[in-house]
Amino acid sequence: MYVCMYVYVPEIHFDHPLQLNTSWPGVELTVGQVGGVSVDQRGNLYVFHRGSRVWNAACVICRVSVPSVVSVCHLLCQCVICCVFKIPAGSDTPTLTIGHRFQHGEELTFFCKPTDVAVLSSGEFFVSDGVSAVCLSLLTCVSAEVSVSVDLCVCRCVCAGVSPPPGTFDVPHSVTVSEGTGQLCVADRENGRVQCFDLEGNFDHLIRHKEFGPRLFAVEVCPLRGVLYAVNGPAYDGPSDLTVQGFTVDMSSGQLLESWNIPQGLRNPHDLAVDPTTCGSVYVGELNPRVVWKLTRADRSTTPTPHLHMDTQIGRSCLCVVSVCLVSLCLV
């Protein structure tokens, strides 16, 4: 006798699309190139930007650091300094610095050019690293006590024209973690895809859609809905008709649930963040124009109004340290 069993998996559905919130932020907001955005458990938004410093292909040698990404646990990546910093809430002074300033390497105690941080409730955190042709692309897990570093994925970039196998990166640019599902997902930027692993570093599945195009810049998990939000970027040598936009993806199945954008169209998004309290608000930071956008769904009545925290102290406090050294620009 055969017994058939059916498991019902509810389909993820949104009653309202994500749309630009034109009433936000309600105050004049002046930022430099936005390297990172993040939202804490209270719905407060943090913006990590580059101030008056402009980074582009014309700038090859620089005397200052490049702010890259901010995480809600106040762990900051400095791409050129090659370090990750932990900064207590309400402070502008790091209580922990991991890595070696201005020294990159492939050993476990070194970072090359870190791009993002994802933090577990235990205090362990994951660092995506490797925005450089001379370094490996890495995904590293660091213990809460920072006494042990465990390499999860050590992967060299794959040459152009070759289909990259799972577990290899060409610029791991963003990392996000879902403790509920035990998954870690990475925006594999120059391969235009999302790779997901378990928390031990074992490859789980890959998400790729033609709408992503050749470059995918950032991913962020919504812990309440089991979805990933992502943004792509302009394709310099790809299809001319590519739309730069955001995406909502089922984290488990990889199904593309929706695409979203602002009326004038995103141009150079670099990072995004999701309000974890309701998942009803998504923030996108751009390099050019220098702006942060807030997108919300029409049923946002339960979404708290976040406060805005502009992280400019880090850039100023680092200047006295890095101004004595010449460092190569990290083009991100």
* 260 within a domain of the structure (yes/no): yes
pTM of the model: 0.77
Q: Give 166-192 pLDDT, tens digit per residue.
A: 888 888 999 999 999 999 999 999 999
CA distance 284 to 279: 14
Q: What is the pLDDT of residue 302?
A: 38
* 8 within a domain of the structure (yes/no): no
Beta-carbon contacts of 98 under 8 Å, excluding residues fewer than 6 positions away, are 83, 84, 85, 86, 111, 142, 146
Q: Residue 141 is encoded by which pair of tokens?
A: 């897990």
Q: Give 48-73 pLDDT, tens digit per residue.
A: 888 777 666 554 433 343 444 555 44
Q: What is the pLDDT of residue 320?
A: 20
Beta-carbon contacts of 273 under 8 Å, excluding residues fewer than 6 positions away, are 37, 38, 39, 45, 220, 282, 283
Q: What is the pLDDT of residue 195?
A: 95
* 4 within a domain of the structure (yes/no): no
Q: What is the pLDDT of residue 296?
A: 97
* 229 within a domain of the structure (yes/no): yes
* 216 within a domain of the structure (yes/no): yes
**Regions of the chain where pLDDT drops below 50:** 3-9, 59-68, 72-75, 78-79, 133-134, 136, 146-151, 153-159, 300-332
Query: Considering its fold, how many domains does the chain have in total?
Result: 1
* 130 within a domain of the structure (yes/no): yes
* 103 within a domain of the structure (yes/no): yes
* 281 within a domain of the structure (yes/no): yes
- CATH code where residue 70 lies: 2.120.10.30
Q: What is the pLDDT of residue 102?
A: 54
| Residues spanned by the domain of 186 | 19-158+168-327
